[in-house]
Structures are given as C-alpha cells and as structure tokens.
Amino acid sequence: MLPAQPEPVQALGIDEIRRGRPRWIPDEATGIWQTAVDRWHVSFVDLSGKQGLLGQVEGRTAQAVITWLADRDQAWRDAVRYVAVDMCTIFKSAIRRVLPQATLVVDHFHLVQLANQPLTEVRRRVTVTHRGRRGPRATASGNCATGSPAPPPGCAASTSTLSSTSCPTCPG
C-alpha cells in the first residue's frame, strides 16, 4: 500500500506505463468506436532515496500529473530539486506549472533511445545502399560480399563461377 503523503524527495521520476490493452466499445448513437478503458497510468518514483514508488494515477495527461503533485503539501513540492521525465511535453508543461523551481532532466533510457534513432537510420540507409536491400540474405549465388545478384565494384570474380565465400578480391 502506498502512503497517502510520501516523505519529501529531492529527485522525482515521472513516467507513464500502459497496463494491458485498451478496451473499445461502439457508441450506440454514432456507431463510432470509443475507448472504454485506456490503461495508461503515470508513476511517481523517488529517485533520491529509498521510498521507491510514491504514487500512481490513471491517465496520461498534464492534469493527472498536476492533480497528484497538487495533493502534496507546499513543503513537499518545494523540496523537489530535480524531476526526471521522458521527453513527453505533457509532463514538461505540468512540471513547469506545479514545480517551477525544479530542474527538468531527461532520464537516461529515453536519452540513449533518442541518440540511437539517427544511428539506426544511418545504419539502415548504408545497408540498403551497400546491399541493395534491408538485411542479410543467404543465397547460393550472387555477390560474395553483399549477397546481391550483381558483383560489387572492383570484384574480379564472376558470380556464376564462385561461391559466396571464395572471391579473392572481395572482403568476407
């Protein structure tokens, strides 16, 4: 059971979590499918001490975050120096309104994820440029270096006479 009023924290972590799948029902008047249950929750975690999970509220809105933080007393809110969030603008706007003194930081998981996105795009583009397709393909004939039907530039071998591992001029 979570405490009604957790002890003050210096570093607060806020993140959303989806519990199960959303449930949909048709609106009888319009026939349009609407969400009956959307299981998004926002979790509040003590990052500076040993309290762990401080609270969890249903919904993934700025108002849900504002309401939970507003339920803490002013001394509790004033004690928060840092708030770690993902890059969700919903959380940013709520923190700026309720905890204006807190330094907003991005948690390391989401920061690394953001840094990896352009690397993945470059890796995929280079793979398509180099191989002419997305990923590895095992072929008995074809380019010894890339597996594509055409030999790479500078390859002295004929793809019809060599296996994929016996080209003397191609790497691999």
DSSP labels for 64-121? HHHHHHHTS-HHHHHH--EEEE-S-HHHHHHHHHH-TTSEEEE-HHHHHHHHHHHHHH
pTM to 2 decimals? Answer: 0.60
pLDDT at position 114 is 84
pLDDT for residue 38: 67
Per-residue pLDDT of the chain (172 residues; tens, 9 = 90+): 666 788 888 999 998 888 777 778 888 888 888 877 667 889 999 998 888 889 888 888 899 999 999 999 999 999 999 999 988 888 898 999 999 999 999 888 878 888 899 999 988 888 888 888 776 665 444 555 555 556 666 665 544 444 444 555 555 4
Distance between CA atoms of 96 and 77, rounded to whole angstroms?
A: 12
Question: How far is 36 from 38, CA to CA, in rounded Å?
Answer: 7
Q: Which residues pair with 46 in a beta bridge?
A: 12
**What ranges do the domains of the chain cover?**
11-110
- Phi and psi of 108, rounded to 5°? -60, -35
Residue 52, phi-psi category: left (phi > 0), alpha (psi -120 to 50), beta (remainder): left
pLDDT of residue 31: 85
pLDDT of residue 12: 93
Residue 70: the pLDDT is 93
Q: Which residues contact 64 (CB under 8 A, 6 or more apart)?
A: 42, 57, 58
